[in-house]
Amino acid sequence: MFSYVPRLLLVVVLWALTFVSFSKINDHIIGKVDAYNIIKVCQNKNCCKRNSDILQTIHNLVGMSDGVDGNTVVESSGCLSQCDMGPNIEVTTKGDKKTPPMVLNGMTDVQTIAFHLGELSTTTMPTFPLVPKLLIAASKVIETSETFATNGQHEEQIRYLTSVIGKLEISSPSTTVNAHAHAVRARAYLRSFEEEQEEKNNDKVISAIHDAQRVVRDLSAVATPTSLFLAYRAWTDAELILAKQQKQQQNNEKVIDVLSEWYRAQPKYGTKLQGEIDSLRRLSVES
Per-residue pLDDT reduced to its tens digit, 63-88:
765 444 467 889 999 998 888 898 99
**Alpha-carbon gap, residue 80 to 103, rounded angstroms:** 8
Give the domains, in start order, of the chain with CATH numbers: 36-124 (3.40.30.10), 133-246 (1.25.40.10)
Per-residue pLDDT reduced to its tens digit, 149-195:
999 999 999 999 999 999 999 998 999 999 999 999 999 999 999 98
Q: CA dihedral in degrees (238, 242, 243, 248; nearest 10)?
A: 180
Q: Give the residue-averaged pLDDT of 12-35.
A: 40
Count of alpha carbons within 13 angstroms of residue 137, beta-carbon side = 12
Please report how the helices 133-150 and 154-171 are oriented relative to each other, as an axis angle in degrees rounded to 10: 160
**Do 110 and 143 touch, CB atoms closer than 8 A?**
yes
**Which of residues 16 and 249 earns the better pLDDT score?**
249
CB neighbours of residue 265 within 10 Å: 16
Smallest CA-to-CA distance from 125 within 25, 55, 39 is with: 39
**Do 59 and 176 touch, CB atoms closer than 8 A?**
yes
**Which of residues 231 and 97 earns the better pLDDT score?**
231
Please count the residues of the chain: 287
Helices (H), the chain: 4-34, 45-50, 54-62, 110-119, 133-150, 154-171, 176-195, 203-213, 225-246, 252-265, 270-286
Q: Read off the pLDDT band of 244 (50, 70, 90).
A: confident
